[in-house]
Amino acid sequence: MFYGGGFGLLGKQAVAAFSVLGFSFVVTLVIAFVIQKTIGFRLSAEKEAAGIDVVEHAEVAYDLEGSLHAPGTGPTPEAVIAAAERLTAKAAP
């Protein structure tokens, strides 16, 4: 079009782009289906309610208690678990 390809080349490029889009969509759908049927995407409701960060990583993602740490340092694992337990106790009805 701009450098001599014309609309014919533009059409071929559009077909190629949409072919890649369709192929990527199908492959991603297949991968997602396999993951869902094997290990699943979601945690149990109990683990989500307890806090995914605490359950999966044994840490608190956001320091909601306001205690700051110097760069390169952090709370001990015991302090993280205690803070997470306090946060989940506040959230429980």
At 7-43, the pLDDT tens digits run 889 999 999 999 999 999 999 999 999 999 999 888 8
Which pLDDT belongs to residue 91? Answer: 64
Average pLDDT on 41-52 reads 81
pLDDT 10s digits, 66-89: 555 555 556 667 777 777 787 777
Q: What's the rounded Cα separation, in Å, for the pair 20 and 26?
A: 10
Can you give the pTM of this predicted structure?
Answer: 0.52
Secondary structure (H, E, C), 17-76: HHHHHHHHHHHHHHHHHHHHHHCCCCCCHHHHHHCHHHHHHCCCCCCCCCCCCCCCCCCC
